[in-house]
Amino acid sequence: MPQQTAGRGSAAWALVITSVAGFMAALDNLVVTTALPSIREDLGGALHDLEWTVSAYTLTFAVLLMFGAALGDRFGRRRLFIAGLAVFTGASAAAAMAPGIDSLIAARAVQGAGAAVMMPLTLTLLTAAVPEARRGMAYGIWGAVNGLAVASGPLVGGSLTEHISWQWIFWLNVPLGLLLIPLARLRLAESHGTGAPLDLLGTLLASGGLFGIVYGLVRGPVDGWTGTAVLTALFAGSALLAGFVRHSIRARNPMLPMRLFRSRAFSGINAASLLMFLGMFGSIFLLSQYMQGVLGYSPTEAGLRMLPWTGMPMLVAPIAGILSDRIGGRPVVAAGLFLQALGLGHLAVVATAEASYASQLPALVISGVGMALFFAPASNLVMSSVRPKEQGIASGANNALREVGGALGVAIMASIFSAQGGYESARSFVDGMRPALVTGSAAVALAGIATLFIPGRRPTRPGEPPAVRTAGPVLEKAS
Which CATH superfamily includes the segment(s) 4-198+255-457+464-478? MFS general substrate transporter like domains (1.20.1250.20)
pLDDT tier at 90, thresholds 50, 70, 90: very high
Strand segments (E) across 61-113: none
What pLDDT was estimated at residue 206?
A: 81
Per-residue model confidence (pLDDT) at position 101: 83
The rounded distance, in Å, linking the Cα atoms of 78 and 7 is 14
**Average pLDDT of the segment spanning 403-407:** 76
Residue 125, CB half-sphere, CA atoms under 13 Å: how many?
34
Q: Supply the angle between the helices 77-96 and 101-129 in degrees, to the nearest 10.
A: 150
**CA 121, 123, 128: angle at the middle one, nearest 5?**
95
Q: Higher pLDDT residue, 344 or 326? A: 344
Burial class (CB in 10 A: 0-12, 13-18, 19+), 375: buried
Q: Residues of the chain with pLDDT > 70: what percent? A: 83
Q: Residues 6 or more apart from 260 whose CB is under 8 A from it? A: 266, 385, 386, 390, 394, 397, 474
| pLDDT(86) > 90 | yes
- Which pLDDT band holds residue 479 (cuts at 50, 70, 90)? very low
Q: Among residues 40, 60, 65, 46, which one has the least CA distance to residue 161?
A: 40
Are 337 and 278 contacting, i.e. CB atoms less than 8 angstroms apart? Answer: no
Domain ranges of the chain: 4-198+255-457+464-478
pLDDT at 457 over 80: no
Rounded CA-CA distance 313/318 in Å is 8
Residue of 287 and 328 predicted with greater confidence:
287
Q: State the Cα–Cα distance between residues 53 and 44, nearest whole angstrom.
A: 12
Q: Are strands 190-191 and 4-5 parallel, antiparallel or unpaired?
A: antiparallel
Comparing CA positions, the residue from 168, 135, 142, 174 lying closest to residue 322 is 135
pTM of the model: 0.72
Quick: pLDDT tens for 28-53.
776 776 676 677 777 766 555 666 77
Mean pLDDT of 215-228: 77
What local confidence, expressed as pLDDT, does residue 446 receive? 93
Q: What is the DSSP letter of 261?
A: G
What value does the mean pLDDT of the chain take? 78
Looking at the chain, the whole-number percentage of residues with pLDDT higher than 90 is 11
Least confident residue range of 144-158, 225-239, 299-313, 459-473: 459-473
pLDDT tens per residue, range 150-183: 666 767 777 777 778 888 888 988 998 898 888 8
pLDDT band at 89 (very low <50, low <70, confident <90, very high): very high
- Is the Cβ–Cβ distance between 210 and 64 less than 8 Å? no
What pLDDT does 91 receive? 93
Q: Is the distance from CB of 296 to CB of 420 less than 8 angstroms?
A: no
